[in-house]
Amino acid sequence: KLLSYMPQNCEEKAPSTAYNHGGNEIRTQLENIVPDNSNQPYDMREVIDGVVDEDSFFEVHKNFAENIVVGFARLAGRSIGIVANQPAFLAGVLDVHSSQKAARFVRFCDAFSIPLLVFEDVPGFLPGTDQEWNAIITNGAKLLYAFSEATVPRITVITRKAYGGAYDVMNSKHIGADMNFAWPTAEIAVMGAKGAAEIIFKKEISGAADPELAWKEKEAEYAELFANPYRAAERGFIDEVIMPEETRVKLISAFKMLENKVKNLPRKKHGNIPL
């Protein structure tokens, strides 16, 4: 089954199969997957299954670094590689192992000219001395490098959280993504509203008559300004804010547009991947 998603060699395009869509690509089941509470988990596999061709998702490395999901699928018959944060496990954070897993998969897809689709819901990198001792910066840089050097079509869909450096690493416009879409539930910011309010408005909160109330007010103020995809769209970091049920239609169109993408990297002996 794995070989059915791969071309015969790196010079070929990703294989495609005959596909009859029946005239309707709207997927209403995507409307209610992401909870209203941004801290509530959900299974990103439901999003993937709702977007790709029916029963076409073939997950690999399923039991390793479960906070990120990687695998192959078909979209309108064409093979693609999928990288997706998994909010149902460790809130979808990037850590040492998930960064390694995703970087390896991205490099594999790029080596065989398989287009990449990223579903993003990432609150950041996992903090802690254990992660630091195990080289989270080096391993996070591997994923950054893998996406940056990939020459295949690269598209991202932000379903909810896209915070800080982890947002940049997950195939953002800043590292050369071709198209970035966001659902209305997307939150593209430096960090979550609660933590940001505590840091940015620390003096105002501590000097208030009711610090707890002031904190909540500042949190709501920050959330209203930044816990949405529209500021990023204004700056060109998001190409379009789309409704969830339109995702499949938009992706089919975008990958069709990028079908003959040619990207030539600068002439050099080789890149210096973080090892």
Total domains present in the chain: 2
Residues 172 and 155 in one domain: yes
Range of the domain at 207: 193-226
Residues 164 and 204 in one domain: no
Residues 50 and 180 in one domain: yes
Residues 37 and 112 in one domain: yes
Residues 243 and 113 in one domain: yes
Locate tokens 């080289």: which residue? 135
What is the distance between the alpha carbons of residues 222 and 197, in angstroms, rounded to a whole number?
Answer: 7
- Region 239-252: what's the mean pLDDT? 96
Residues 66 and 100 in one domain: yes
pLDDT digit string (tens) for 133-165? Answer: 999 999 999 999 999 999 999 999 999 999 999
**pLDDT > 90? residue 249:** yes
Q: What is the mean pLDDT of the chain?
A: 93
What is the distance between the alpha carbons of residues 121 and 161, in angstroms, rounded to a whole number?
Answer: 5
Would 170 be classed as within a structural domain? Answer: yes
Residues 202 and 177 in one domain: no
Would 239 be classed as within a structural domain? Answer: yes
The reported pLDDT for the residue numbered 192 is 84
Would 32 be classed as within a structural domain? Answer: yes
- Region 232-261: what's the mean pLDDT? 95
pLDDT digit string (tens) for 185-215? Answer: 999 998 888 888 888 888 888 888 888 888 8
Q: pLDDT band at 31, cuts 50/70/90? A: very high
Cβ of 20: how many Cβ atoms within 10 Å? 6
Q: Which two tokens stand for residue 66?
A: 């479960």
Would 73 be classed as within a structural domain? Answer: yes
Residues 239 and 167 in one domain: yes
